[in-house]
């Protein structure tokens, strides 16, 4: 069995270097192509590892990539061609730093639910229960009301993507256009978000794109069989969730597990997650106020 790790933005290269040194000591890092070949050949996956990074935040280019080059560590990044070509932010990047109470009032107006009914929920949980069009309606209203412009883009551009890909260390995969929660969307929206992200990246990079990461990445909650079928139709060979667990020959290539790490998480914390494996998600669902329980409660509230 092997492991796949997932990161997002990282601003502490020394922390990342410690994690990578730990991984190189305990595991055999392999590029994406070898990971999939070993699986397809029904080969031994014991002690292999692969790194993935979602979203394409510029910290990948400035902080993560230099460490990967130093240690000759292969990785895959999942990005949006829209964010890279048009230099726009994802919705969660755009709302970072917004005043919570003011944002909550506008959310209340848009989804027609009283502020008191949603004030105890985390804002991120509320947003992940909405369609992408509703999310941007909320953002646009907030910016108009408080006379704010769009924030400077914090995502990598096409030249930076090409630069890291040309190193031979980095594989680039798709991550939708606008980072919607696909399960919230109508079939047509989900299909367009997946298909156009794959074809758009293929156009700008000049080659086929055959791997994908689901936004947020929790099966059923964030994506389902519908999305896996769309990926199959687009010739995608592998797709990644955010569910903890080891990668083995029983894994579904269109629902591959990853252990998530946030910047600052210790190697001890990583070891704990690896020890519990697939049981980690069950443990997280027992925590009071966890994402799963909150989103379930919100979905029920929004159906009323």
**CA–centroid distance for 298 within its chain:** 22
pLDDT value of position 278: 92
Q: What pLDDT is stored for residue 1 in this prediction?
A: 82
Q: What b/e readout covers 45-76, taking b as 16+ CB neighbours within 10 angstroms?
A: beebbbbbbbbbbebbbebbbebbeeeebbbb
pLDDT tens, residue by residue, 113-142: 999 999 999 999 999 999 999 999 999 999
| CA 118 to centroid of chain Cα atoms | 25
Decide if 280 contacts 78 (C-beta within 8 A). Answer: no
* b/e sequence 265-286, b meaning 16+ C-beta within 10 Å: eeeeebeebbeeeeebbeeeee
Average pLDDT over residues 29-35: 97
pLDDT at site 303: 81
Distance between CA atoms of 2 and 121, rounded to whole angstroms? 36
Domain locations in the chain? Answer: 3-88+155-278, 91-145
pLDDT at residue 102 is higher than 90: yes
Give the pLDDT confidence score for residue 288 in this predicted structure.
Answer: 85
Give backbone dihedrals phi and psi of 48, rounded to 5 degrees, phi first: -90, 155
pLDDT tens per residue across span 212-254: 999 999 999 999 999 999 999 999 999 999 999 999 999 999 9
User: In this predicted structure, what is the pLDDT of residue 163?
Assistant: 98
Domain 3-88+155-278 has CATH 3.20.20.370: yes
| DSSP annotation string for 249-293 | TTS-TTSB--EE--TT--HHHHHHHHHHTTHHHHHHTTSTT-HHH
Q: Residues 208, 213, 214, 218: what is their CA dihedral angle, to the nearest 10 degrees?
A: 150
Hey, how many other C-beta atoms are within 10 angstroms of the C-beta on 115? 12
Amino acid 212: pLDDT: 98
What gap in Å lies between CA 271 and CA 277, rounded to an integer? 10
| Residue 304 confidence (pLDDT) above 80 | no
| Predicted pLDDT of residue 302 | 87
pLDDT at residue 239 in the model: 98
The model's pTM is 0.96
- Which stretches of the chain are assigned E, i.e. beta strand? 3-7, 28-29, 48-54, 75-79, 170-174, 211-213, 238-240, 259-260
| Band of residue 12 on the pLDDT scale cut at 50, 70, 90 | very high
What does the pLDDT read at residue 289? 82
**Percent over 70 (pLDDT), the chain:** 100
């Amino acid at each position: 069995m092997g492991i796949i790790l997932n990161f997002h933005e990282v601003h502490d290269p020394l922390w990342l270097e410690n994690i990578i040194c730990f991984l190189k000591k305990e595991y055999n890092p392999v590029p994406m192509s070898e990971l999939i070949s070993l699986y397809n050949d029904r080969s031994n996956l014991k002690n292999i590892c692969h790194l993935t990074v979602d979203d394409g935040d510029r910290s990948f280019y400035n902080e993560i990539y230099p460490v990967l080059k130093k240690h000759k560590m292969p990785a895959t990044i999942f990005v949006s061609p829209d964010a890279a070509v048009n230099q726009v932010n994802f919705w969660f990047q755009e709302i970072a730093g917004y005043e919570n109470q003011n944002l909550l009032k506008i959310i209340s107006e848009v989804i027609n639910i009283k502020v008191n009914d949603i004030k105890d929920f985390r804002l991120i949980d509320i947003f992940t229960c909405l369609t992408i069009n509703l999310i941007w309606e909320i953002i646009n209203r907030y910016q108009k009301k408080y006379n704010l412009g769009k924030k400077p883009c914090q995502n990598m551009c096409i030249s930076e993507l090409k630069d890291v890909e040309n190193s031979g260390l980095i594989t680039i995969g798709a991550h939708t256009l606008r980072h919607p929660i696909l399960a919230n969307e109508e079939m047509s929206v989900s299909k367009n978000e997946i298909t156009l992200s794959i074809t758009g990246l293929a156009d700008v990079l000049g080659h086929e794109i055959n791997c994908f990461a689901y936004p947020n990445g929790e099966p059923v909650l964030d994506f389902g069989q519908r999305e896996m079928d769309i990926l199959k139709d687009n010739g995608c060979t592998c797709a990644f969730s955010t569910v903890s667990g080891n990668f083995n020959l029983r894994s579904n290539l269109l629902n591959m597990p990853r252990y998530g790490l946030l910047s600052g998480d210790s190697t001890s914390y990583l070891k704990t997650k690896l020890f519990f494996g697939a049981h980690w998600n069950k443990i997280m669902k027992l925590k009071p106020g966890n994402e799963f329980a909150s989103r379930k409660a919100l979905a029920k509230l929004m159906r009323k």
